[in-house]
Structure 1
Amino acid sequence: MIRPTRLKKGDKIGVIAPAGPPDLEKLNKAIPFFENIGLHVKLGKNIKEVRGYLAGTDEQRLEDFHDMIADRKIKAIIFARGGYGTGRLIDQINYNLIKRNPKIIWGYSDITYLHTAIRQQTDLITFHGPMLASDVAKDEFDAFTGGLFQQLFEPTELSYREKINPLKAYAAGKAHGQLVGGNLSLLISTLGTPYEINTKDKLVLLEDIGEEPYRIDSMLNQLRLAGKLLDAAGIVIGDFAESATNLSSSLTMHQVFEDYFTDFNGPVLSGFKIGHCFPNFSVPLGANAKLSTEDRTFVIEPGVK
């Protein structure tokens, strides 16, 4: 895998919106956080564009992405928000341009599609972490979450242990492998495409928001039928926010996870604060990692060089 070059104080980062349009007031509220950690911020020229639920046309969003990749003064791209729309760009991205200009790429949620495609097309490690308008600008944005941006300045081994919060094992064991995955509904949307998620011998991160237990059940079943669960070395279950159901009779999320993971041939740990939550534990996707239910640990190699 290709590790992007670490940031240093004074570097310039690019901010664009490849999916939904950001709230510009919240976007501007988030910028000082990055300035305070020593970075200069350049906004994409089309970031104010709005086309329905998209941040401008596909051409405008793609232009901003390619411009930031090609600009050698830009050392990292951190997305403004998720939403929907990244998948519309996937088959138009110039992956050779990314290979020639590998740099830090940071975001999550709808950005999962972009993470998956870039990793599998270029071998570049990218980062699953909070974005400007949808996360950094919130009052809930905390020092722990903000501190994890420091992994971009110095190669850092991340270690998630139960001192952060309790973890639950659905299947016991130890495993190591490349960390992949992200937002479950976005992973499902890759199936049957040239950018289908590869889970073979990987540690697979799963998280989502606003999906009721029956919907998570349906998506896990689709992963199962596609062979993606059987292929995986281990499962990292992140945060499933806003998952309450209005159904009069429903399985709990815990029961759904039991159905799919109790007999899993490898470790399955849940409860990680990775996803649409605070604190938000940022992780490098594509980096090698270790998962153990014996000591309830998740250790990830550095994402930058």
Structure 2
Amino acid sequence: MPIKPQRLQKGDTVGIIAPASPPNLENLQRSIRFLEIELGLKVKLGRHLKREYGYLAGKDDERLEDLHNMFLDKDVKAILCACGGYGTARIASAINYEIIKSNPKIFWGYSDITFLHTAIHKQTELITFHGPMLATDIGKEDADPISKQFFKQLFEPQEITYTEQFSPLEVLVEGEANGPLVGGNLSLLTSTLGTLYEIDTRGKLLLIEDINEEPRSVDRMLNQLYMAGKLNDAAGIIVGDFHNCEPKRDKTFVLDEVIKHYIQFAGKPAIKGFKIGHCTPHIAVPLGSTAKLSSVKKQLIVESGIQ
């Protein structure tokens, strides 16, 4: 059974970690003001949050230590990732998942954090949150107000109902489907294949999104998911934002052609156009919660991820 973390209350402490690449510190500081002033939370920074080690925010054992410590700290009620980049997969096999299972709490992020979402789900069944990150999104000077609003789901149980009020939606395959919502960044989902943390899509709604990948790269990754049975196993498919995924050569397909080829090949109910991913606004959703996708109503409904 999925484990729902406890909701936040004003005055609670949230921990900030960087399990992948180093955050932009100026943006991070602005996001801390958002957490403290607009959400009424207290903030605790990971000990190694500001470290830099190549393209990583500290050595693997340092980033792992911050993750463990935040789950072990009884004062910390939620863990928010500062940014993505690269590196979460490097620590996945060293995580003590019993610590997470014994101390379930809100865990929030996206992009490279997809590998951790998938690993945590497989090892603990904890519901986690695919949402905009602090230094990458919320701390920008022009941070989107709609993206900020979706932090409210951490304070009060509420269904997320996504309709065309947020963005135009296109039905790729008609039908209705329901099941736990899984997925995230396509590149990271593909990188889980063949590991202990391989994405499980059986009877689930699969979310995919990505950034800075040419159509030929998206083709390769979708083909790999298809051949691994992940598209056929899914109950339905949710196509999020594919930011800056434009071709850089003359002889090519456009992105829509690639996506439609594989999604329609799989034949599962599917809708594209969701503002979920590297986009503005970025609608946060709880991964692991039961969701319903309807082509008739052109909507996605996701149950609350907290208790």
Q: TM-score range by the shorter chain?
A: over 0.9
Q: Would you say 1:77 and 2:79 are equivalent positions?
A: yes
Partner of 1:7: 8
Equivalent AA in structure 2 for residue 181 of structure 1: G
Of 140, 158, 161, the match for 1:159: 161
**Quick one: distance in 2 between partners of 1:277 and 1:137?**
14
SS at match of 2:190: helix
> Quick one: distance in 1 between partners of 2:31 and 2:164?
30
CA–CA distance in 2 between the matches of 1:96 and 1:165?
A: 39
1:182 is matched with: 184
Identify the residue that residue 92 of structure 2 maps to in structure 1.
90
Q: State the 1:244 CA deviation.
A: 1.5
Separation of aligned partners in 2, 1:32 and 1:89: 29
Structure 1 segments, 4+ long, off by >3 Å, are none
Assess if the C-alpha contact under 8 Å between 1:170 and 1:257 holds in 2.
no
Residues in 2 aligned to 1:83 and 1:72: alpha-carbon distance in whole angstroms:
28
Counterpart pick for 2:304 among 295, 302, 305: 302
CA contact (8 A) 1:17 1:80 kept: yes
Count of aligned pairs between the two proteins: 305
* Aligned residue runs from structure 1 range 221-300, under 5 A: 221-300=223-302
2:202 partner letter: K
Match of 1:49 in 2: 51
Mean alpha-carbon deviation: is it higher for 175-184 or for 157-166?
157-166
Partner of 1:58: 60
Distance 2:142 2:247 in 1: 24
Measure how far apart 1:140 and its partner are: 3.4
CA apart distance, 1:266: 2.3
Structure 2 counterpart of 1:77, which letter?
I
Q: State the SS of the aligned residue for 2:93.
A: helix
C-alpha contact (below 8 Å) 1:140/1:278 kept by paired residues = no
2:52 corresponds to which letter in structure 1?
V
Matched residue SS, 2:34:
helix
SS at 1:92 equivalent: coil
Displacement of 1:263 after TM fit?
A: 4.0
1:138-157 deviation line (CA, Å, top 9, x unaligned): 23322111000000000010
Amino acid in the other structure paired with 1:230: N
Aligned residues: percent identity? 54
State the distance in 1 between where 2:228 and 2:81 align: 30
Please give the secondary structure, in 2, of the residue aligned with 1:262. helix
TM-score normalised per structure 2: 0.98
Work out the CA distance in 2 between the residues paired with 1:55 and 1:101.
Answer: 24
* Structure 1: gaps (5+ residues): none
Give the Å deviation of 1:218: 0.5
Give the TM-score of the pair, scaled to structure 1: 0.99
Amino acid at match of 1:26: N
Unaligned runs of 5+ residues in structure 2 are: none
Deviation at 1:30, TM superposition (A): 1.2
SS in structure 1 opposite 2:266?
coil
Distance (Å, rounded) in 2 between the aligned partners of 1:83 and 1:172:
35
Q: Once the two structures are superposed, what CA deviation does each residue of 1:119-146 show, in whole Å capped at 9, x if it has no partner? A: 1100100000011111111233221110
In the aligned structure 1, how far is the partner of 2:248 from the partner of 2:185? 22
